[in-house]
Structure 1
Amino acid sequence: MKYCQLGRSGLTVSRLCLGTLNFGPETSEEDSHTIMDRAHQLGLNHFDSSNVYGWKRGDGWTEQIIGRWFAQGRGRRERTVLGTKVYEPTSDWPNDGRLSARHIRQACDDSLRRLKTDYIDIYQMHHVDRNTPWDEIWEAMDVLRTQGKILYVGSSNFAGWHLAQAQDAATARSMLGLISEQSIYNLATRDIEREVIPAAQAYGIGVLAWSPLHRGMLAGVLRSEVAATRYKPEHLAKHRAQLEQYEALCDEIGAEPAQLALAWLLSRPGLTSPVIGPQSVKDLDSAVAALDIHLDDAVLTRLDEIFPGYLPAPEDYAW
């Protein structure tokens, strides 16, 4: 396994982050535990979750699965850099959502209970809250950190200027601020190259890429009748020409499509880790193999031709 520091923090994380979105709805608890055990065997130490994964409102199904895995002991919790999230509503009551101090406090306590741990390594804001002042948000996070319930703060789905707002507000309070931003990023969705990645690099914030395979579309979807049924015909048609070229390139260089997509992300400036979402140990082992793939300039150029990206702003749309 390869490791790096997460942003400007002293925290060391694996170059692949184990996403747990499928634990519960798609992957049984037994299989989820097996995947997490295998992840540790392979050296993955960074796991990512959310208080709403499992998609049963207020239930925290996925966090409960992780908590029961931690409860088995043998260093499972101690060897894991654990990230979870807060923002989404957990009930129909008006204060059980977003980033008010009240909800941050309650959601954190609920996550700790479900996860069967006394601290969260990286507590991530799942979305920007335009209706709560940054002073309130950072005060709530500071209280949690003082109480020892969280160690670091991260964000997810922030725009570049949200990172700037958050970081400037944290600096005014003499706080460390954000150490990570988790954004959608893959060959087919490269919008964050304009402003999010430049902002993250300027502020020393690590970037984690969710949906690195574009919801499986970059995993060889044209070769699999089963995978093709996951997409509406018009959505698949929109990308078909690119995917045909992409899968032909994979054949040419002898690489599995999913592994090539991950290897490309691992080569990107400012990118700490793709957040992978394996549904089986086989999926996990395949993803880890991407760490050994080196992409030369010719292949990177071909990928840019198939899936054009963006220059940092403002050069992307101005001079």
Structure 2
Amino acid sequence: MQYRRVGNSGVKVSALGLGSWLTYGTASEQKAADACIKTAFDCGINFFDTANAYNRGAGEEAIGAALKPYIRSSYVLSTKVFFPMGNGPNDGGLSRKHIMEQCEASLKRMGTDYIDIYFCHRYDNQTPTEETLRALDDLVTQGKVLYTGVSEWSAAQITEATGISKRLNLDPLISNQPIYNMFERYIEEDVLHVSKQHGIGQIVFSPLAQGILTGKYKPGAQIPKNSRAANDRVNGVINSYLQDNVLESVQQLDNVAQQLDISLAQLSLAWVLRQPGVSSALIGASKPEQIEENIKAADVNLQPDTLEEIERILKKVADFAPLR
């Protein structure tokens, strides 16, 4: 396993991390979480990500319970704050009140004394960025949070935040957590460049495009039973990928993977990890075997001719726009 620094910070995370979005959080899924985290540790993964909004706190509880047997210093744990956790006017956003209250709630749900990386899950245009950053800095000073980051912030928003942090001598943001995969590449336009300027590393989510880049979905074919796309509870995002031109390009990418004697998922993860600004890519798993398979991507080095072939295929779907 490779371990990479997160931006200009000193903390190192595994090139592949284990996320819990749409994966863990119900009683029936706890056994899966326990088994997957054990396998992740065995494979060298030291980074685990969740959020308070995942199943209204149940995701944090599941991750916390699964990590309980392990020495706290042996792993890096991140969670997030922003989305509503109740129906009250202050139950969401990035106000000092909500951040402070939800940090305490997250610590309690996960059964830990501190959060390694605390992410602002989205940008809050109703709260002054200075208020948000001062609250995060106070949490660092209190020892409840070691590092801070943002998720899906634009280049302009990152620039604004880093400027405020420098002016006020606050602890710097070390990471942005955006979506990034072969079909959703907006961070290549300016986010990567701005983040590099300010020492911010990318911890990306959905590198397999919600499972599309595993090759399980075929153009013109029925959606496989027991797949994410067949589950009405979690298929809202994945349905936007189920377009014939997208699925046809996936088949062509699968041919590239077969020529390299690797799986399509390994090809897709290696493609994400080849980006210099990426510190880690978050994978989701409901079965230990998925982790054992995907972990091999960390050792795949894609050659220039392969990258050129991938770009040729992806040009055909360059206008893909997800429905979010």
Same fold, judged at TM 0.5 (above): yes
Cα distance in 2 for residues equivalent to 1:247 and 1:71: 38
Instruction: Using the TM superposition, give the Cα deviation of residue 134 of structure 1 relative to its aligned residue in structure 2, in angstroms.
Output: 1.7
Q: Number of aligned pairs?
A: 303
Q: Deviation of residue 244 (structure 1)?
A: 2.7
Report Cα offsets for 1:121-140 as digits up to 9, x if no partner: 10000000111112211111
User: 1:39-89 deviations in whole A, cap 9, x for unaligned?
Assistant: 111111111110011x2x4xx0011112223333x41x2211110000000
Residues in 1 aligned to 2:229 and 2:170: alpha-carbon distance in whole angstroms? 48
Structure 1 residues 17, 232: closer, same or farther in 2, change over 3 A?
closer
Spell out, residue by residue over 1:195-221, the C-alpha distance to the aligned partner (whole angstroms, 9 max, x if none). 111111111100011100111111113
Q: Structure 2: 5+ residue runs without aligned partners? A: 231-237, 317-324
Aligned counterparts of 1:44 and 1:27: Cα–Cα separation in 2: 24
Q: For residue 260 of structure 1, what is the aligned residue in structure 2?
A: 267
Match of 1:282 in 2: 289
Residue 46 of structure 1 aligns with an amino acid whose one-letter code is F
Indicate the SS of the match to 1:28: helix
| Residue 246 (1) aligns with residue 241 (2) | no
CA distance in 1, matches of 2:16, 2:241: 32
Q: Which residue is equivalent to 1:85? A: 80
The answer on 1:51 being equivalent to 2:46 is no
Q: Which of 61, 65, 85 lines up with 1:64 in the alignment? A: 61
Q: In structure 2, how many angstroms separate the alpha carbons of the residues matched to 1:89 and 1:51?
A: 9
Cα RMSD for the two superposed structures:
2.0
Q: Is the 8 A contact 2:25 2:61 kept in 1?
A: no
- Separation in 1, partners of 2:214, 2:229: 14
> Residue 213 and residue 178 in structure 1: after superposition, are their counterparts in 2 closer, same or farther (change >3 A)?
same
- Conservation of the 8 A alpha-carbon contact between 2:137 and 2:171: no
CA displacement at 1:92 relative to structure 2:
0.5
Deviation for aligned residue 1:261: 0.1
Partner residue, 2:43: 42
Which whole-Å CA distance do the structure 1 matches of 2:228 and 2:29 have between them? Answer: 23
1:176 maps onto 2:171 in alignment:
yes
Q: Report the CA distance between 1:239 and its aligned residue.
A: 0.9
Cα contact 2:214–2:265 (8 A) shared by 1 = yes
The structure 2 residue matched to 1:306, chosen from 296, 313, 319, is 313
Match of 2:123, SS state, is coil
- Which structure 2 residues correspond to residues 1-319 of structure 1 after superposition, within 5 A? 1-21=1-21, 22-24=23-25, 28-53=29-54, 55=55, 57=56, 60-72=57-69, 74-75=70-71, 77-222=72-217, 226=224, 227=227, 230=230, 232=239, 235-308=242-315
Alignment check: 8 A CA contact 2:4 2:280 kept: no
Post-superposition offset of 1:19? 0.7
Q: Decide whether aligned partners of structure 1 residues 246 and 267 sit closer, same or farther in structure 2, where only a CA change above 3 A counts.
A: same
User: 2:58 corresponds to which letter in structure 1?
Assistant: W
Instruction: Provide the C-alpha distance between the structure 2 equivalents of 1:204 and 1:132, rounded to a whole number of angstroms.
Output: 24
**Does structure 2 conserve the Cα–Cα contact (< 8 Å) formed by 1:218 and 1:261?**
yes
Q: Secondary structure at the match of 2:182?
A: coil
Q: How big is each residue's C-alpha offset from its partner over 1:95-131, in whole Å with a ceiling of 9 and x where there is no partner?
A: 0100000000000000000010111010000000111
Q: How does the TM-score come out when normalised to structure 1?
A: 0.90
Report the Cα distance in structure 2 between the residues aligned to 1:233 and 1:145, rounded to whole angstroms.
39
Question: Partner letter of residue 251 of structure 2?
Answer: E
Q: What percentage of residue pairs aligned between the two structures are identical? A: 34
Give the residue type in structure 1 aligned to 2:49.
Answer: D
2-structure distance, mates of 1:209, 1:234: 18
1:90 to 1:5, Cα distance in 2 relative to 1, 3 A: same
SS of alignment partner, residue 305 of structure 2: helix
What are the ranges of 5 or more consecutive residues in structure 1 without an aligned counterpart? 310-319
Alpha-carbon distance in 2 for matches of 1:218, 1:150: 34
Residue identity opposite 1:173 in structure 2? L
Distance 1:232 1:79 in 2: 37
Segment of structure 1 superposing worse, 136-145 or 227-236:
227-236
